[in-house]
Amino acid sequence: MISVIAIDDEPLALKLITGYIEKTPVLKLLGKFENPLEAARFLAENQVDLIFTDIHMPDLSGIEFTRAMEKGPKVIFTTAYDKYALEGYKLDIVDYLLKPFSYEEFLRSVQKVSRLTRLEKSSATSIEANDEFLFLKSDYKIRRINFNDILYVEGLKDYVKVFITNAPKPILSLSSLKLLEGKLPGDKFMRVHRSYIVNLGKIDTIERSRIVFGKIYIPVGDQYKDKFQEYLDRNFL
């Protein structure tokens, strides 16, 4: 069962979304709010799995509400404006329902939440039990990434770019390099720069304190040089 609250300053829109929630067996409605500040007070004292929220509201917009909220509940935006889709992606929301939306569209979003929840539980168990892969959220999807396929990872402030061998473009995910570093097996990967993690098994060439992947040069930062040199010394003929 997925616990849910709904936020919308338009009574008719709020009635529609709560009606959809109540007719969906997998969902349990815990509260409905016309003001996001009231919802915030509710969240401070109650655990919620999923939030449906409008964007244009008085006092606090849905975007501001989501940005200020502690990480935990998943969020689906319900709005009449499609121009906020990119902002939603940056906030790592699950989905974006454009008003007016049907129950079928609503149900597809709920199914995304259900799949995401199952995959998160599965990945948490799997990563502890093996050193072969992890699940990474990218562009509203969950991608399985095999460690052996990773060439290197680049950190970009709030994002990471995972470069896959022979893939046409990297996988972009809202995460931090430090968080991803903790998920990668230490015997296969090494952080060599504040912005880069490399797959040690993919290194073919090193040139002037730089790791060469084709036409890409990954610098080895000063604070990482000793550890990287130790790795080289252990495997040097």
Q: Is the pLDDT of residue 63 over 70?
A: yes
Contact 51, 88 (CB under 8 A): no
Topology of the domain comprising 2-123: Rossmann fold (3.40.50)
Chain length of the chain = 237
| Residue 92, Ramachandran bin (φ over 0: left; ψ between -120 and 50: alpha; else beta) | left
Split at pLDDT 50, 70, 90, the class of 93 is confident
For residues 155-178, give the mean pLDDT. 88
Residue-range domain boundaries for the chain:
2-123, 132-234
Split at pLDDT 50, 70, 90, the class of 11 is very high
> What whole-number distance in Å separates Cα of residue 60 and Cα of residue 58?
6
Q: Does the pTM exceed 0.85?
A: no
pLDDT for the residue 48:
92
pLDDT for the residue 237:
64
CATH architecture of 132-234: Beta Barrel (2.40)
For residues 40-62, give the mean pLDDT. 87
